[in-house]
């Protein structure tokens, strides 16, 4: 289904919100939720994100890919039946085997203005996880606002893979060190490319000197392939996935952050819960999962955006901010 939503911009001009789902009446209007004001501008961002979640859900249903709402999105579904009032994004997660399946099919299934972003579809993006982006919009992290990165920076939905956590602390520490080495190498090599325009010649010289330390140890012909080392980073995250470990985590996001460690048993069966005007899969053990992550999760306390906020624009594409 395709619907056109013509909206008044802040400058008084009319423009079309780039989404393909039907919105409930008044969804885009300013709202007070739990005493917190949600502006009409943020509601437009939510609408773009809900549209991408719908596109993702359709692919997962078609290809028998299982996913769960993650983090604040799961908390929002349970506590608010939608977005947490101050939240500005949607997070989902799936076990690595499901994630790998999605990475194969999603780039073919998604059509413009949607874009399935990984390091393999958009070199230099280096998030450690996949994102669906809307190419007609802007969603630039505030921490990256002045860096003029050249990869796709439309409004996004985050998709995190879950990997096994080995019980042996020594093995885990070794895995962590290797993974961080490869991730740092991939990122530093990417900074040498033209996709990172904000880096000066002097900065690139320093990065090159850093990389020279690895020439003796690494294959010189592949020294300047960020994809090679990103793949090694992913392989480290997946190292113990053959084991049926008690705990799993989004290792590719924050490898050693134990706040993100999860019990595998909490994510075996989903139940569907209301999230705004959709229903999304949530852990059937959501109470235990949320208590592990947040403690007394029904206690209402204003939080902050995990990624530190973003510059959102539903009127202009990210390319106009480059």
Q: Is 284 strand, coil or helix?
A: coil
Average pLDDT in the chain:
87
My answer on whether 20 and 106 are in the same domain is yes
Q: What's the CA gap between 105 and 101, in Å, rounded?
A: 7
Please check whether residues 147 and 181 belong to one and the same domain: no
Domain presence at residue 155: yes
Burial zone of 114 (CB within 10 Å; 0-12 exposed, 13-18 middle, 19+ buried): buried
Q: What is the pLDDT of residue 73?
A: 98
Tens digit of each residue's pLDDT (9 = 90 or more) over 212-235: 555 544 555 455 577 888 999 999
Output the pLDDT for position 136: 97
Give the Cα separation of 277 and 105 in Å (integer): 26
Give the CATH number, domain containing residue 105. 3.30.460
Whether residues 175 and 48 fall in one domain: no
**What average pLDDT does range 97-111 have in this prediction?**
98
Examine the domain organization and report whether 215 and 177 are in the same domain: yes
Identify whether 182 is part of a domain: yes
Q: How many domains does the chain have?
A: 2
Asked if 199 and 230 sit in the same domain, the reply is: yes
Q: At what angle do helices 169-191 and 201-212 cross, to 10 degrees?
A: 140
Same domain, 139 and 34: yes
Instruction: Tell which wins on pLDDT, 96 or 144.
Output: 96
State pLDDT tens for residues 145-172: 887 788 999 999 999 999 999 999 999 9
Q: Give a yes or no: residue 41 inside a domain.
A: yes
Per the confidence metrics, is the pTM higher than 0.85?
yes
According to the model, what pLDDT value does residue 221 have? 43
- CA-nearest of 159, 154, 111 to 136 is 154
10 vs 302, which has greater pLDDT?
302
Q: 4, exposed or middle or buried, with CB in 10 Å at 0-12, 13-18, 19+?
A: exposed
Place of tokens 């609408």: 47
Residue 12 lies in a domain: yes
155 and 224 within one domain: no
pLDDT reported for residue 113: 97
Which of 239, 272, 300 is the last residue before a domain boundary?
Answer: 239
Tell me the Ramachandran region of residue 124: left when phi exceeds 0, alpha when psi lies from -120 to 50, beta otherwise. Answer: left
| pLDDT of the residue at 226 | 78
- Model pLDDT, residue 12: 61
268 in any annotated domain: yes
Is 298 in the same domain as 200?
A: no
Q: What is the pLDDT of residue 253?
A: 82
Domain stops at, among 239, 272, 288: 239
pLDDT in tens, 292-317: 999 999 998 776 665 668 999 999 99
The verdict on 115 and 76 lying in the same domain is: yes
Q: Are 129 and 250 in contact (CB under 8 A)?
A: yes
Q: Where are the beta strands (DSSP E) in the chain?
A: 5-8, 14-17, 31-33, 36-38, 68-69, 91-95, 114-117, 130-134, 138-141, 155-165, 247-249, 262-263, 270-275, 278-283, 310-313
- pLDDT at position 2 is 45
Residue 27 pLDDT exceeds 70: yes
Per-residue pLDDT at 146: 82
How do residues 234-276 score in pLDDT, each as one tens digit? 999 999 999 999 999 998 887 777 888 999 999 999 999 999 9
Question: Does 310 share its domain with 209?
Answer: no
Peptide bond into 113 cis (omega under 30): yes
Instruction: Supply the pLDDT for residue 77.
Output: 98
245 found inside a domain: no
**Residue 163, class by beta-carbon neighbours within 10 Å (0-12 exposed, 13-18 middle, 19+ buried)?**
buried
Region 48-58: mean pLDDT is 98
The residue among 194, 222, 239 that closes a domain is 239
Band of pLDDT at residue 13, cut at 50, 70 and 90: low
Phi/psi at 47 (nearest 5 deg)? -60, -45
| 186 and 218 housed in the same domain | yes
What is the distance between the alpha carbons of residues 312 and 318, in angstroms, rounded to a whole number? 9
Inside any domain, residue 244: no
Give me the pLDDT at residue 216, please.
44
Q: Are residues 219 and 86 in the same domain?
A: no
User: Residue 219, exposed/middle/buried by CB under 10 A (0-12, 13-18, 19+)?
Assistant: exposed
Token pair for residue 133? 């982006």
Q: Range of 188's domain? A: 167-239
Residue 298 lies in a domain: yes
pLDDT reported for residue 227: 83
């Amino acid at each position: 289904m395709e619907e056109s939503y013509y909206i008044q911009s802040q400058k008084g001009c009319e423009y079309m919100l780039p989404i393909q789902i039907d919105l409930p009446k008044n969804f885009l209007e300013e709202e007070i939720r739990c005493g917190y004001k949600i502006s009409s501008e943020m509601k437009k961002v939510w609408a773009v994100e809900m549209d991408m979640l719908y596109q993702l859900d359709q692919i997962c249903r078609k290809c028998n890919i299982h996913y769960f709402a993650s983090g604040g999105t799961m908390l929002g579904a349970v506590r608010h039946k939608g977005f947490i009032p101050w939240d500005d994004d949607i997070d989902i997660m799936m076990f690595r085997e499901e994630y790998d399946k999605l990475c194969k099919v999603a780039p073919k299934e998604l059509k413009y203005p949607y874009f399935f972003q990984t390091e393999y579809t958009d070199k230099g993006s280096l998030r450690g996880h996949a994102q669906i982006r809307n190419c007609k919009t802007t969603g630039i992290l505030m921490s990256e606002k002045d860096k003029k990165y050249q990869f796709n920076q439309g409004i996004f939905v985050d998709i995190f893979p879950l990997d096994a956590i080995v019980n042996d602390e020594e093995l885990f520490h070794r895995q962590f060190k290797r993974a961080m080495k490869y991730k740092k190498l991939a990122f530093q090599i990417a900074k040498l490319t033209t996709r990172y325009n904000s880096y000066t010649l002097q900065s690139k010289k320093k990065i090159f000197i850093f990389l020279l330390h690895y020439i003796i140890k690494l294959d010189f012909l592949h020294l300047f392939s960020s994809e090679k080392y990103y793949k090694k980073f992913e392989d480290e995250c997946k190292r113990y996935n053959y084991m049926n470990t008690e705990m799993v985590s989004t290792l590719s996001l924050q490898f050693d952050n134990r706040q993100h460690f999860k019990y595998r048993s909490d994510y075996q069966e989903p139940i569907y819960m209301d999230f705004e005007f959709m229903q999304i899969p949530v852990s059937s053990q959501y109470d235990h999962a949320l208590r592990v992550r947040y403690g007394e999760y029904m206690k209402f306390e204003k939080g902050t955006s995990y990624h530190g906020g973003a510059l959102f624009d539903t009127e202009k594409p990210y390319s106009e901010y480059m």
